[in-house]
Structure 1
Amino acid sequence: MIRIGIGGWTFAPWRGGAFYPDDLPQRRELEYASHRLTSIEINATYYGSQKPESFQKWHDETPEDFVFALKGPRFATNRKALAEAGDSVARFLDSGITRLGAKLGPLNWQLAETKTFDREDFAAFLALLPGSHDGIPLRHAVEARHDSFATEEAAALCRDRGVALVRALDSKFPEIAADTADFGYWRLMGTTDRANGYAGADLDRWADMARQAGKNGDLYLYVISGEKARNPAAAMALIDRLKDHP
């Protein structure tokens, strides 16, 4: 399956008719967004713990086939030695994320831009990422933002653990197009002030790329950054172009 969405659902410029209708209460924004997109990446988990009740609420407010991606906490990834992140990883997994049940999608472990590849340290970090928790299968993705990770050595370590390397598209970050898991995780980061965030030809190109990737496994694609006010429109335009994909 191909899942397409945005980062979060609370953003003032999306209100007033830009994405959310004028008369939509803010408490219903997630419900509204989840019926027009097929996934959302939650960034709040990167900055701090969320309450178990919040994960349950998000589960209950969204359609049965909706999926959330969660950013792993910065306390685990913004450190000199990734191998020492075990306690932070464990706390995150125990914070209530499995309340999402089948709606729990991949966990994105975003590394700092300055974090360089160290084989031993990176391998130790990947070993901290379990395949399940509380009986819920887990999918992990690592968003490496330094060129030193664009190597077959780094890809091989991820492949051995079934961990995806996030592919940054239209971005200042290195585009690592390595297939290392049974799913892909893409972040499209350069929307413009056009009505749908991109020219039609660009959207066609992203959609064609996604369609090809979707033949080899699940794909999670998030329209992030750029002209954020246009991101929902870009995501919906991609969903429309891919509506024929099974």
Structure 2
Amino acid sequence: MNVFLSSMAWHNPTSEDKRQCLILDYVVSMRKGLHIGTSGWSYDDDKGWRGVFYHSRRSLLQQYLRIFHTAEINSTFYALPTPSFIKHLANIKDEDVFFTAKLPKKVTHEHRLDLSGEGGAVLSDFFSLMEPVKHRLEALLIQLPPWDISNMADIESFFSRLDDSFRYAIEFRHESWLNDRVWKLLEDYGIAHVIVDEPKLPISLRVTTDFSYIRWHGHGSRPWYNYRYSVEELEAWKPRLEDLMGRSETVLAYFNNHFSGHAPLNALQMLSLMESINPRQTMKLERMLTHMSVT
């Protein structure tokens, strides 16, 4: 029995007790260590993925999972997942495979975290749809728009309405969010601060819960994501990752620079630098390097 549960037997549990208990129980099931993948995988129309990372346009996820065991699901940001998509994820046989998934933009962008009306209904539907694949989800990603904190609904009210049986990471895209009150709320609610590598915010290795979450967006001009990290840039991340691994049970890290196949290339290079690459990944990396004439 969870030690926290044992201590609760002596008093009537408050809502805070229950929330902390759910967090502690879920922590036990989180996959430990460093896990690197890409943000999305359906890029068969991109010449850097097609014929280089993918050998055909069929069964893209199956091909992807032969190389990486984790991916960030981006499609849920644009629309609620279909039952067939959820069934497809649920039917994956490999127990080592897991995902993270973005909250719908209707919640984060259109309704600005206000859950009093349609935003709350959409979020409730999202939770219900994701329930069958909860065992495959390490975290749900709350990606905020690049707006000042004053233009959004109260963040604590939003956190209090989240389904406690999922874990969460939140990505800020405006510096007004980087304040002591918000950091304290993340710690209180067990929500990870998303560490970003992007043009507009500094890299902050702030750890607010038992796991860390990283997104490499790139430094392209139009858009950010059209960018390939150099080996030197990736090498600068090695001590950062080692630092985060020392302060976190789990580190989830995803490359979002998906143009021209840069994301899988950089993800494989990062795995190699971290000495966490397997033979199949090494073969894929060598093939991609040869094809792209990267040194």
TM-score with structure 2 setting the length = 0.71
CA offsets, 1:98-134, max 9 Å, x none? 32242212101111112415898110011111221xx
User: CA separation in 2, counterparts of 1:168 and 1:61?
Assistant: 30
- The structure-2 alpha-carbon separation of the partners of 1:50 and 1:77, relative to structure 1 and needing over 3 Å to count, comes to same
Query: Tell me, what secondary structure is at the counterpart of 2:131?
Result: helix
Q: Report the residue type matching 2:191 in the other structure.
A: V
Gaps of 5+ in 1: 133-137
Deviation at 1:179, TM superposition (A): 1.4
- Answer yes or no: is 1:230 the counterpart of 2:262: yes
Contact 2:113 2:153 in 1 (8 A): no
- Residues 19 and 35 of structure 1, relative CA distance in 2, 3 Å threshold: same
Structure 1 residue matching 2:262: 3-state secondary structure:
helix
How do residues 54-203 of structure 1 correspond to structure 2 at under 5 angstroms? 54-61=85-92, 63-78=94-109, 79-80=111-112, 82-84=114-116, 85-95=119-129, 97-116=130-149, 121-132=154-165, 138-173=166-201, 175-190=203-218, 197-203=228-234
Sequence identity, in percent? 24
**Cα distance in 2, alignment partners of residues 62 and 34 from structure 1:** 11
Matched, 1:240 2:268: no
- Counterparts of 2:85 and 2:258 in 1: how far apart (Å)? 28
Does the CA contact (< 8 Å) of 1:129 and 1:140 recur in 2?
no
Asked if 1 retains the 8 angstrom alpha-carbon contact of 2:199 and 2:219, the reply is no
Letter aligned with residue 218 of structure 2: G
Matched, 1:209 2:240: yes
Change (3 A) 1:207 1:16: same
Q: Does 1:17 align with 2:48?
A: no
Q: CA deviation at 1:168?
A: 1.1
Aligned partners of 1:187 and 1:222 also within 8 Å = yes
Which residue identity does 2:164 align to in structure 1?
A: G
Change in CA separation of 1:120 and 1:58 when aligned onto 2, cut-off 3 Å: closer
Query: Given the superposition, is the C-alpha separation of residues 151 and 226 from structure 1 closer, same or farther in structure 2, using an over 3 Å criterion?
Result: farther
Q: Please, which runs of 5 or more residues in structure 2 have no aligned partner?
A: 1-32, 221-226, 278-295
Aligned with 1:37 (options 68, 90, 103): 68
Could you tell me the TM-score, scaled by structure 1's length?
0.84
The alignment status of 1:51 with 2:82, answered yes or no, reads yes
After TM superposition, give the deviation of residue 3 of structure 1 in Å. 1.3
Give the AA of the match of 1:39: T
* Structure 1 residues 152 and 118: CA distance shift in structure 2, 3 A: farther
What is residue 252 of structure 2 aligned with on the other side? 220
User: 1:2 & 1:170 partners in 2: Cα distance?
Assistant: 21
Contact 1:2 1:219 in 2 (8 A): yes
Q: Matched residue pairs, number? A: 233
Take 1:35 and 1:98, find their aligned partners in 2: how far apart are those partners?
25
AA paired with 2:232?
Answer: A
Alignment match, 1:2: 34
